[in-house]
Amino acid sequence: MRFMILLSVCVACAMSMTVRAQEPEGPAALLEDWKDAARDRTIPIKIDYAKTIDKPTPVVIISHGLGGSREGLAYIGQYWAEHGYVAVHLQHPGSDSTLWKGLPPGAGMQAMKKGMTVEQFSARIEDVKFALDELKRRNDDPSWALHGKLNLDQIAMAGHSFGAITTQAMCGETFPNGKSFFDPRIKVGIAFSPSPPPGGDSKTAFASITIPIFYWTGTNDTAPSTISSLKAIQRREPFDATAKNDAYLVILTDGDHMVFNGRLTEQPDERPNDTVWHDLIEKGTTAFLDKYLKRDAAQGKYLDDGAFAKEIEPKGTYEMKKGEGK
């Protein structure tokens, strides 16, 4: 039951969401459907990448929230592609937009509950592992559009809401009975709207994570009260419980659940700070990726020595801590 409540907060409210249109001068996008024959499961994929790649490029796997799709988090995927990364958006069948499409909002919300299961969580984990294997296979395939363009020794994972839970799991969160889904191919993680563990013991759940993680949330980062009782303040628990890994936390003042997924300011439910927040998300997460995947000292200094904190201060709070022994 606790797990069901936890997953319910991952509702992406995608029924009212649109995504930022891809600018003509922006990065290229590759849309493919990858078939996992072992599970008889097709994973829709969207890959954002620079139109010119002159050397193998680090990769970021992106996992959407409940009811979302490979089109979610478009703003950040495109930004990362413009700044030296290949962004691979996964769509998770069974917890994606097919749950609600064609239904009225109320019915759609009820239908999305079908995606809030342990089975769907497990399927997402397998989707990520399959995608990692498939990226290796395709990168080695001379006929693939991005053949040889990926640096698969430098892979990050990012996700929003249910995708954040998926990311936390792949980064090494420990689940009840000591279960871990950690994959060493993932070098760093970014969790938008993170969640505490289903059992409530954050210290135990996050004690085994050894890779750097950047957590992002907001003071209004909650789901509707009819869906979940999780409070926004609880989203900082994963950060508070980390010890072995470097960890960062941004809490956007008045930031809500959907700002991280890519709601646009021109939507009817616009928020006046969306553009500013997206700029901070883009700059902060890219500095994080650059520091740990590219070993960029200047970006590390920007992140750690106060410059980024000064940019955050008017719109939220920023915390960081080094892992044990650092």
Specify whether the CB–CB gap between 315 and 276 falls below 8 A.
yes
Residue 45 CB neighbour total at 10 angstroms: 18
Higher pLDDT, 206 or 110: 206
Burial profile 49-73: b = 16 or more Cβ within 10 angstroms, e = fewer: bbeebeeebbbbbbbbbbbbbbbbb
pLDDT at site 243? 86
Between 112 and 207, name the one with better pLDDT.
207
**Alpha-carbon distance 116 to 4, whole Å?**
6
31 has a pLDDT exceeding 60: yes
Cβ–Cβ contacts within 10 Å for residue 21, how many?
9
Kindly report, residue by residue over 197-244, the tens digit of the pLDDT.
877 788 889 988 999 999 999 999 987 555 567 889 999 999 999 888
Q: So what's the pLDDT on residue 18?
A: 35
Nearest to 71 by CA among 149, 147, 14: 14
What are the sequence ranges of the domains in the chain?
2-321
5 pLDDT band (50/70/90 cuts)?
A: very low
Whether the per-residue pLDDT at 8 is higher than 70: the answer is no
Per-residue pLDDT at 7 exceeds 50: no
Whole-model pTM over 0.85: yes
Give the pLDDT of residue 225: 58
Percent of the chain with pLDDT over 70: 87
Whether pLDDT at 10 is above 60: no
The CATH H-level superfamily of 2-321 is: Alpha/Beta hydrolase fold, catalytic domain (3.40.50.1820)
Instruction: Provide the pLDDT for residue 265.
Output: 43
